[in-house]
Amino acid sequence: TRTGDTLPSLVERPTQANAENAAVFVSIHINSVDNAPNANGTEVYYADSNNGNAYGTTSEKLATNILNRMLYYMGSTNRGVKTAEHAVTKRCEMPAALTEVGFITNPTEVYNMTTDEYQYGAPMAIQQSIVSCGFLFLQKLVNLFGESMIASYTVATRMENILMIPIIGIQNTMAAFAGQNMGARQPERVSKGLGQGVLVSLLMTAALCLCQLLGMELIIRAFKLDAAAAAICRQHLFAS
Residue 28: per-residue pLDDT: 94
**pLDDT over threshold 90, residue 238:** no
How many residues comprise the chain? 240
Q: Given this model, what pLDDT does residue 212 score?
A: 84
- Res. 227 pLDDT band, cuts 50 70 90: confident
Which pLDDT tens digit goes with each residue over 47-97? 999 988 766 789 999 999 999 999 998 989 999 999 999 999 999 999 999
- Other CB atoms within a 10 A radius of the CB of residue 191 amount to 11
145 three-state secondary structure: coil
Q: Indicate the range of 26-30, 32-36, 137-141, 144-148 predicted with least confidence.
A: 137-141
CB 162 within 8 A of CB 113: no
Please write the tens of the pLDDT for every residue from 112-125. Answer: 999 888 888 899 89
Q: What is the pLDDT of residues 135-173, one digit of tens each?
A: 777 777 788 888 888 888 888 888 888 888 888 888 888
